[in-house]
Amino acid sequence: MKRPLPNLLTHGFWLALRNWPCVVWAYGVNLAFGLLAGIPFAGGLAPYLDHSLAAQKIAGTIDLGYLAELEMRLRQSNFIPVAFHTALWINLLEVLVLFVLFTGTVFVYVSAEPPRLSVLLRGGVAYFWRFVRSTCVAACIAGLILGVLIASRVALLARLSAVYVERKMFLYSVISGAVVLLVALLIRLWLDLVEVYIVRNAVDGEHRVRNALLPALRLLYRYFFRTVGSFFLTGMLGVSAFAACLYLWNEFVPAHQVWIGFLLAQVGLFLLLASRFWQRGIEVSLAMAADPPIVAVDEVLEIAEEDIPVTTGAESLAGLSEPTLRDLVQKLRTEPWANPDVLPGSQTSRPARPADPSRGKEPEISPLDRHAKKFPLGGLSSDEEGTPANSAEKTRSGGDQEIPPGTGNKP
Amino acid sequence: MPRLLPLMLSLSPSAIVSIPRLCSSARALGLLWRAGQATAFAAPLLLALSAWGQVSAVNSPDGKPLSDRVVAYWIDATLNTAAKTLDATEILEYRNDSDQPLSTFPFHLYFNAFRPQSTFSGESHRDGTNILYANGEQGAMDVSSISAEGYGDLTQSMKFTAPDDGNREDHTVMEITLPKPLAPGDAVRFHLAFHDKFPLSVARNGYKRDFIMGGQWFPKIGIWWHGAWNCHQYHADTEFFSDFGTYNVNLTLPQRYTVGASGIQTDERSNADGTKTLSFRGEDIHDFAWAASPHFQVADDSFENSLGTVRLHALVLASHAAQTQRYLSTLKQSMQKFDEWYGPYPYKQMTLIDPEPDSEIGGMEYPTLITGGTDWWSPSWLPFGQDATVAHEYGHQYWYGMVATNEFVEPWLDEGINSYSESKVMASLFGVNTSALNARTLYASDAETERISYLHRPDEDPIARPAWQFAGSSSYGCIVYGKTSTALTTLEAVLGEGTLRQALRVYFTRYRFKHPTATDFLHTVEEVSGRNDLEPYFAQAIYGTEMLDYSVDSLTSVPSEWWKGKDANGQYHTSVLVRRKGGFVLPVKLEVGFDDGSKEQATWDGKDRWMRFSWDKASRAVYAQVDPDGIVSLDANSFNNSYTLQPNRTARLKLTNYWVLAQQLLAQWLSFLV
């Protein structure tokens, strides 16, 4: 039985909006690295353009002949290797940084940690290798599926081209290309959900990447149309906003107005990037609503039985790989079956956290509390989840339709 | 073998020779020829037919042949559209127009080039184009028999030759030897039977899907030129060279096919086996080509010139139906410009073929027939594609079709002059600056595209060089098309547009239906312009490889009494150092602009390596520029032609903006992937 879901679009949007620093940081990185790549490029152009009247043929509406000649001049110098190699390395570095930021963003969205840069980075670093592993798995699967699809497409188009030409052939080419793109995007969506599950499973004490693969697939399968629809809609909105900015630049900005063009392009790029965070918000909203994390009783007991001293808040936050779980376990050791919402005593019974400058004036509440407060997504209420016997029974029974997909993976 | 042959054999040799020339009533001749009903009593009828109802393919002002018709072909061909093969018989009457007896006769067998062993394929491979001939994709031309009237069977004397590179496997040139020489002024009639296998479209030829292009599809005799046979092998970059004459062609093929061909169609007959036979006649042309497709849609129009009406016969593929009127419009406008500038088009028909998409057929010229090239979406703001192709290929009706220069040995005389003509026509039709591209944020002229082509290989080969002796296909294209056009644009700047146009008109009028050389062209330019100082320019631009590059090396504008400090007496000393960076010497103009709006100009003969110019004025210099009018297109670097004292960073920032945007977008895309 499917859980009732909130409106993914609005919840995803608000989740992204509440955590707006994530977008801003990512855009800042995108802009900074872009400008960095522009430095050698601009420097290489200066000797040719700054003092030449021929540059006027490029400054306004561009004379393609002069642009082509400039390209030839640049190719004869060391401009191409310098500008392109610099851009290559800068792009690779930027992709790495953005990867960490996106990883941190998923952590922030799932854990409801404050979206500070330090949290983003620590979350990003903590989950980095697990995300890398999931990306590698997805790349292998994508390579297999898309390889077959692309080969089939090439063979199909070769056959069709023996009969059809021009407009019809173009349509067939576009349609078959769209099918491949659609499948590629579905794989990307699945990978997004896998990444959400990786963080979400950590709350449940599950750290293995492979145990995030099938739950993500099941979730995608169960809520296919809503998820895919929301994913594509936000993606289309982002691309449309970017295209609209380029259109405005092209149509209404005079050719020599470089700064207005720059601003419009940046607005477009920001909106394009923001749509990606919106997509992440949708995916987290979906996973947390349809399959909220439930702490494994067995694991909690296991941890509780270990002779582990109750750690302080600072210690628990030292490694962000599983802070939510550790934090929760500490709470549950002192108030084993307490519902954090209805048992404020749990806070008092815990050792007080020493002041942590990185956490600022964060209220001392558990990640689950914070999560429930920040995005009440429906599904099981805190009260329902707070019934440990039921949870344990459901977890162990395994065949109950009410059990969310994520819990079925636990031993 | 044509069915008329028994009839011809029954006549006296002189009558045999005279029949094709006398019997120019192609329709009547074709009917008799195909019917196979000709008997001895038909001979007088044939001769009588020749006296009336003459169907001529040209608008000759006095009814006389326009060219010295050295050859006459009668070809009866049957096309197998499924197997992409053709079986034909050919009668070739050749008149010894030389002043010496001839005993050997070379023939071009171009289709044999489309095999991996050929010189064409080897050179293409060398230049980076790997033509892979899968099963059924090779071309071939097999001559099964050849005989000559009065000389008997010559099949045994056939041998392949390779006059250019000695490649014995080339097979694009065949030679036969007569038992006794053909005396000057005498004619000989060869009878050939041959089989063609069309290649998958390559080098403007062959088939693609059910479209078949018949170019260079029959054994064609070489040309006796300047005291020797000129019959070169088919190379990767060579084109064609032949004698003028008449062509009578019958083509049998399935009913559903539509055919466009050189000359005019004289007859169409349905056959009992579901095929049809089309008859064509071409006069005063030096090649014959056709194209067949079941998807052609015919659109006719007409053009009036001083010699009469020209029928415009466009065969456009159904998938390009929307482009039909654009094809015809550009063709008519091009005809108008060529007629106005150079002279009239004397043929009765101009056929335009729309080639199959995704094929290697593309734009190509044949006498009275051109192939264009378009796409279903071809936008009107991009005339560089479809319109430029039509203008270019039509221009070849003048520079190749009528002024039939040797495309093997002097390719620049047709492709180069024609590229220049194309850029002039395109500029007149679509704007001087926007004749290639006219988008909102970008524009380009056709002449600029030629110049950019030249700049890719500015000094690799001289313009005047045999086509197969260029460093490679790239150099051939950049020099023959791009540099020639750019050199003529620069020459136009030197002589004046009207003078060069008049020179081309005289050249066309004087050498149409002839085979002129580079010397004829250059002498005509000198003669018409009245300039006897052009030799250095021709030597450098046409025969040399030196680069033309002038630059403003430095510009200073300081107080005249600089030792007294800034603006001591309000006078400024402006100094400009102009340098000749290349070996090409050409007088250039220098212009210096001052901050009070005034300008100073000076001329430099450019002979020294550098020259310093200076002015003392009450205003400071703003810029210095060589070639301020931008007319020396051969100058290889436009960006060093000027120098401004104050930098202007707009262009740099604009391009950097594009670059930053591209990098940001790329990074976002990559981060989406991972």
Q: Taking CA atoms, what residue in A is nearest to B433?
A: A63
Within 8 A of A273 by CB-CB distance, chain B residues are 668
Pairing between β-strand B173-182 and β-strand B187-197 as defined by DSSP bridges: unpaired
pLDDT confidence of residue A295: 55
- Put simply, the answer to whether A276 touches B357 (Cβ < 8 Å) is no
- Put simply, the answer to whether B671 touches A258 (Cβ < 8 Å) is no
Pairing between β-strand B364-366 and β-strand B173-182 as defined by DSSP bridges: unpaired
Residue A174 lies in a domain: no
Maximum alpha-carbon separation in chain B: 111
- Put simply, the answer to whether A265 touches B661 (Cβ < 8 Å) is yes
Within 8 A of A251 by CB-CB distance, chain B residues are 440
Size of interface A-B (CB pairs under 8 A): 185
Q: Taking CA atoms, what residue in B is nearest to A134?
A: B674
> Residues A197-238: pLDDT tens digits?
999 988 778 889 989 999 999 999 999 999 999 999 999 999
User: Which tokens in the block code for residue B343?
Assistant: 């002279």
Which of B449, B638, B670 has its CB closest to that of A54? B638
Residue A388 lies in a domain: yes
- Put simply, the answer to whether A50 touches B657 (Cβ < 8 Å) is no
Q: Look up residue A77 and give its DSSP letter.
A: T
Q: How far is CA B632 from CA A249, A275, B130, in A?
A: 35, 52, 38
Which of B319, B649, B651 has its CB closest to that of A167? B319
Cβ neighbours around A275 below 10 Å, total? 22
Which of A30, A251, A276 has its CB closest to that of B664? A30
Within 8 A of A46 by CB-CB distance, chain B residues are 649, 652
Q: Which of B293, B650, B666 to mutate to test the interface with A (most CBs of A within 10 A)?
A: B650
Within 8 A of B665 by CB-CB distance, chain A residues are 269, 272
Q: How far is B437 from chain A (nearest CA, A)?
A: 8
Q: Taking CA atoms, what residue in B is nearest to A61?
A: B441
Which of B319, B452, B652 has its CB closest to that of A166? B319
Residue of B189, B221, B186, B219 whose CA lies nearest to B102:
B186
CA gap B352, B474 in Å, rounded: 28
For all residues of chain A together, what is the average pLDDT? Answer: 79
- Put simply, the answer to whether B659 touches A41 (Cβ < 8 Å) is yes
Pairing between β-strand B264-270 and β-strand B275-285 as defined by DSSP bridges: antiparallel
Q: What SS3 string covers A216-270? A: HHHHHHHCHHHHHHHHHHHHHHHHHHHHHHHHHHHHHCCCCCHHHHHHHHHHHHH
Q: Which of B649, B655, B669 to mutate to test the interface with A (most CBs of A within 10 A)?
A: B655
Q: How far is A401 from chain B (nearest CA, A)?
A: 34
Residue A48 lies in a domain: no
Q: Taking CA atoms, what residue in B is nearest to A279?
A: B672
Q: Taking CA atoms, what residue in A is nearest to B623?
A: A53
Q: Which of A332-336, A389-393, B110-114 has the highest mean pLDDT?
A: B110-114
Strand partners, B351: B313, B369
Within 8 A of A258 by CB-CB distance, chain B residues are 650, 653-654, 657
Within 8 A of A265 by CB-CB distance, chain B residues are 657, 661
| Three-class secondary structure of residue A172 per DSSP | helix
Taking the CA of residue A250 as centre, how many other CA atoms within 13 Å lie in the half-sphere pointing to its CB?
12
Q: How far is A307 from chain B (nearest CA, A)?
A: 41
pLDDT confidence of residue A1: 55
User: What is the ipTM score, two decimals?
Assistant: 0.88
Within 8 A of A48 by CB-CB distance, chain B residues are 639
pLDDT at residue A293 greater than cutoff 80: no
pLDDT at residue A395 greater than cutoff 50: no
Q: How far is CA B347 from CA A46, B372, B407, in A?
A: 56, 19, 22
Within 8 A of B648 by CB-CB distance, chain A residues are 50-51, 55-56, 59
Run of H or E residues at A111: helix A79-111
- Put simply, the answer to whether B667 touches A33 (Cβ < 8 Å) is yes
pLDDT at residue A374 greater than cutoff 90: no
Residues of chain B with pLDDT under 70: 1-54, 566-568
Q: Are B601 and B589 in contact (CB under 8 A)?
A: yes
Residue of B86, B87, B91 whose CA lies nearest to B3:
B91
> Residues A129-166: pLDDT tens digits?
999 999 999 999 999 999 999 999 999 999 999 889 99
Interface membership of B566 toward A (CB under 8 Å): no
Within 8 A of A30 by CB-CB distance, chain B residues are 664, 667-668
Which of A31, A55, A62 has its CB closest to that of B664? A31
Q: Look up residue B347 and give its DSSP letter.
A: B
- Angle of helix B415-430 relative to helix B484-495, nearest 10 degrees, comes to 70
CA gap B487, B81 in Å, rounded: 45
Residue A98 lies in a domain: no
Within 8 A of B651 by CB-CB distance, chain A residues are 45, 49, 55-56, 58-59
pLDDT confidence of residue B560: 86
Cβ neighbours around A227 below 10 Å, total? 25
- Put simply, the answer to whether B656 touches A42 (Cβ < 8 Å) is yes
Instruction: Tell me how many domains chain A contains.
Output: 1
A311 compared with B171, residue with greater pLDDT: B171
- Put simply, the answer to whether B448 touches A95 (Cβ < 8 Å) is no
pLDDT confidence of residue A112: 87
Within 8 A of B666 by CB-CB distance, chain A residues are 91
Q: How far is CA B21 from CA A23, B25, B55, B64, B217, in A?
A: 85, 10, 13, 12, 23
pLDDT confidence of residue B69: 97
Q: Look up residue B58 and give its DSSP letter.
A: B
Within 8 A of B437 by CB-CB distance, chain A residues are 64
- Put simply, the answer to whether B358 touches A49 (Cβ < 8 Å) is no
Residue A96 lies in a domain: no
CA gap B34, B46 in Å, rounded: 13
- Put simply, the answer to whether A56 touches B651 (Cβ < 8 Å) is yes
Q: How far is A31 from chain B (nearest CA, A)?
A: 7
- Put simply, the answer to whether A38 touches B656 (Cβ < 8 Å) is yes
> Residues A9-63: pLDDT tens digits?
999 999 999 999 999 999 999 999 999 999 999 999 999 999 999 999 999 999 9
pLDDT at residue A302 greater than cutoff 90: no
Q: Which of A31, A63, A250, A275 to mutate to test the interface with B (most CBs of B within 10 A)?
A: A63
Q: Using CA of residue B414, residue B415, residue B416, residue B418, what is the dihedral sign?
A: positive
Residue A398 lies in a domain: yes
Residue A374 lies in a domain: yes
- Put simply, the answer to whether B644 touches A91 (Cβ < 8 Å) is no
Name the amino acid, one letter, at A398: G
Which of B452, B651, B670 has its CB closest to that of A65? B452
Within 8 A of A162 by CB-CB distance, chain B residues are 209
pLDDT confidence of residue B327: 97
- Put simply, the answer to whether A63 touches B672 (Cβ < 8 Å) is no
Within 8 A of B317 by CB-CB distance, chain A residues are 165
Residue A149 lies in a domain: no
Within 8 A of B647 by CB-CB distance, chain A residues are 50-51
- Put simply, the answer to whether B358 touches A162 (Cβ < 8 Å) is no
Q: Are B299 and B324 in contact (CB under 8 A)?
A: yes
In terms of residue numbers, what domain contains A328? 297-409
Within 8 A of B377 by CB-CB distance, chain A residues are 167, 170
pLDDT at residue A384 greater than cutoff 70: no
- Put simply, the answer to whether B444 touches A63 (Cβ < 8 Å) is yes
Q: Using CA of residue A66, residue A67, residue A72, residue A73, what is the dihedral sign?
A: positive
Which of A48, A165, A273 has its CB closest to that of B358? A165
User: Which tokens in the block code for residue B525?
Assistant: 């330019």
